[in-house]
Amino acid sequence: MNATFAQRLMPALGALTLAAAGLLPMAAQAQGSLVLYCGVNEDWCRAASTAFERETGIKVAMTRKSSGEILAQVKAESSNPRADVWWGGTGDPHLQAAEEGLTTDYKSPKVGELQDWAVRPWEQTKGRTVGIYSGALGFGYNAKVLKSRGIPEPKCWADLLDPKFKDEVQVADPNSSGTAYTLLATVVQLMGEDKGFEYMKALHKNVNQYTKSGSAPAKAVSLGETAVGITFMHDMISVAVDNPDVKTVAPCEGTGYEIGSMSIVKGARNLDSAKRWYDWALTPAAQEFGAKTKNFQVPSNKAAPTPPEAPKLAEIKLIPYDFAKYGSSDERRRLLAKWDREVKPLSK
């Protein structure tokens, strides 16, 4: 090596080192901070974490991801956890995390204030996850599109099998979406496994696309790309408030539902802050941020007011959804494999 090389390389290396050092973490675990993985919509996440910061002075580092992504990430990080609280998102991944020991148990003094359906997962997992909101499965349609095609408005699950709906129904792929898995589990519980799969096969003939994301059919309905979309009702309502053509339906036969949940990550670095968030998130005041940001799920605290736009759980025929059975990894894997084998490859 000669001087020219060294002279030239050294500043470059120096610059690299400085730039790199600037990006190294400056210990985000200082007292009074919280790392939050948020599984609901961005606005809701932001509103809640800002309010919590203001109230407690604890600095919240919030990252929003889908529940599947959060589970994958928590799993990958399990040997050196980064997150403290996993807040929101459909219940199945929370149950799975609890099953795999990725989350830890906590008995909040607020558990007593919750609806029964919110406490059930908490009991089931020995305190590892708790319900914070719930939403019923349903479908929505674009009234304008239906009218232009002369198709009657559907009211029940059975209506969707009408050949008139050929290529007009959109639903997510249960392999990729918890929403669609909830549909599968719902019809299996509603009709029995054999009849349920018959239903899925018949529905398959009318499905124009299995989307990847669970809420995508709601957007497709709003744009008129499909006439009917099967989603959680609150996802459909979110687009319906902006587009009067979109109508939301609670199926007449009864339907399943999800329990949006919350868990504390095992090995959380800021356990005290995590517990404060946990307690806070179960209060009625905290649960109102959903409705404030146009997310119309039903809150789990008995004292929290249900937003007027939200589907009234009392008015919907809810099935006694067996979260213990259908939330377990084995049963899920079995049903998905069966769907893959018997429904997906069918021609239309």
Q: Which is nearer to other proteins, 114 or 228 (CB)?
A: 228
42-56 helix and 271-281 helix, angle to the nearest 10 degrees = 110
User: Is residue 196 involved in binding other proteins (CB under 8 A)?
Assistant: no
Q: Which is nearer to other proteins, 114 or 145 (CB)?
A: 145
Q: Which stretch binds other proteins (CB under 8 A): 76-84, 105-113, 120-128, 302-310?
A: 76-84
* CB 69 to other proteins: min, Å: 5
Quote the tokens at residue 64: 């929003």
Near other proteins by CB under 8 A: residue from 53, 56, 69, 247: 69
User: Is residue 208 involved in binding other proteins (CB under 8 A)?
Assistant: yes
User: Is residue 94 involved in binding other proteins (CB under 8 A)?
Assistant: no
Q: Which is nearer to other proteins, 173 or 288 (CB)?
A: 173
The half-sphere exposure of 325 on its side-chain side, counting CA atoms within 13 A, is: 8
Near other proteins by CB under 8 A: residue from 51, 53, 56, 77: 77
**Footprint on residues 299-318 left by other proteins (CB under 8 A):** none
Q: Which stretch binds other proteins (CB under 8 A): 78-86, 102-110, 156-164, 307-315?
A: 78-86
Q: Which stretch binds other proteins (CB under 8 A): 7-15, 158-166, 248-256, 280-288?
A: 7-15
**Footprint on residues 132-191 left by other proteins (CB under 8 A):** 145, 167, 173-178, 180-181
User: Is residue 18 involved in binding other proteins (CB under 8 A)?
Assistant: no
* CB 185 to other proteins: min, Å: 10
Near other proteins by CB under 8 A: residue from 56, 324, 336, 342: 336
Q: Which is nearer to other proteins, 303 or 346 (CB)?
A: 346
CA gap 58, 140 in Å, rounded: 40
User: Is residue 88 involved in binding other proteins (CB under 8 A)?
Assistant: no
User: Is residue 259 involved in binding other proteins (CB under 8 A)?
Assistant: no
**Footprint on residues 209-238 left by other proteins (CB under 8 A):** 209-210, 212-213, 215, 218-219, 222-226, 238
Q: Which is nearer to other proteins, 158 or 223 (CB)?
A: 223
* CB 167 to other proteins: min, Å: 7
Query: Are 152 and 142 contacting, i.e. CB atoms less than 8 angstroms apart?
Result: no
Q: Which is nearer to other proteins, 223 or 252 (CB)?
A: 223
Near other proteins by CB under 8 A: residue from 11, 21, 314, 320: 21
Query: Are 133 and 287 contacting, i.e. CB atoms less than 8 angstroms apart?
Result: yes
Q: Which is nearer to other proteins, 119 or 336 (CB)?
A: 336
